[in-house]
Structure 1
Amino acid sequence: MRLIAPLSLAGGVLTLACAASPAAAAPLANGDFSAGFTGWIGQTIACGDSFCDPADDVITSFEPPPGGFTANFDSTSGAATIATSFLDNAVYSTSLRQLFDVDEIQGRNTGLALALDIDYALSDPFTDLVIAQLTDPSGSLPAKDLLDGGPVDITAYAGRTAEIYFEITDFVDGQRDTLTIGNISVEQVPAPAPLGLLMAGLGLLAGRRLSFQFAR
């Protein structure tokens, strides 16, 4: 059994997700998935007929993802795993997203970093699709690729609304593909130690060594 879908669908899925985002946002919630999928929005796309014509796709969104799609959403391991399950229920694309307000830079910190753990398994790396990124719904800032894990510099997003988005899609062979993410958080980046303070510390260390030598 083969699943045929145009590669252009991926961009459509992402566009649909962004367009469907709610207008209001709050700080990043449940980034460690300790509360299951609370705070997250999930989506599946399944073939509506045996020919798997994109025009007949069945698109289902959840907030949070329900237990009826346990083959596609799992958080029992302390992280979130989203998966395709075409051979079980015709789902060939699964996504997860959250719209949130990025922290302001606080105190003497100089930036922000998005920390996360990420891993994925593709049955065919040449035809299957995996997306992990941070985007600006207003389109003013370029997207941040998160596939290599964190920390990722998101200083430009400080004080703005952002959407974090994950997608796994199997276009061709219909086998199970998975994307696992966890420990997502926004971290303050501290200012580097001033050069003068560093030099003073080195001077103090040199003075102690000199005093020790004279004492001997």
Structure 2
Amino acid sequence: MILSFFDQFSSPYLLGIPLILPSMLLPALLLPTPNNRWIPNRLTTIQLWFTNTFTKQLMTPLNKPGHKWAIILSSLMAFLLMTNLLGLLPYTFTPTTQLSMNMALALPLWLATMLTGLRNQPTMSLGHLLPEGTPTPLIPALIMIETISLFIRPLALGVRLTANLTAGHLLIQLISTATITLLPILPIISILTMTILLLLTILEVAVAMIQAYVFVLLLSLYLQENI
């Protein structure tokens, strides 16, 4: 059976049942939960510190009505971060490399920010389609361009996350295959490619963390425009 490099991105099946749902639930099971003791353990303390710091940084530019989104955005950040990092382990499946899943996350959240703006301040939300001081002949074209750019936002969110993670996984797969292939033929070149592989793995860990942060940050910026 001949396999391609893209087979690692296909959802695994067990008895005809796709395993993408258990792979999405696994990160939540690995997160520590507070116990009944007065003093929490170190892992729970680090988790609470990270959550509080990230939520405070994310909610600072937003006004008070936007603070209702704190739980949603912080939970989304934790989910994307754990999913991206766990996908770097050997013999694992990364759900965030699937465009369908990323669009299922981006589209409803972007639509919720838009509906929030249209409900609370419809004039200002619609005013973003036409900047102040626009010449009269350019009004129809500018409204069309701004409308297209508005509806491209969820697509850009999903494609950005999918493309970055897919490209990183492909590079790791290519370089690891070259390392194993060159080991019996050219050991020195194989050691060099292994060093590159280690550096690329460190870079991919950073990319997994940054892309989760960028996804949530852009959603908070979209929310900031509509509250």
Same-fold call, TM cutoff 0.5: no
Instruction: Name whichever structure is richer in strand by fraction.
Output: 1
Structure possessing the higher radius of gyration over alpha carbons: 1
Instruction: Name whichever structure is richer in helix by fraction.
Output: 2
TM-score by length of 2: 0.28
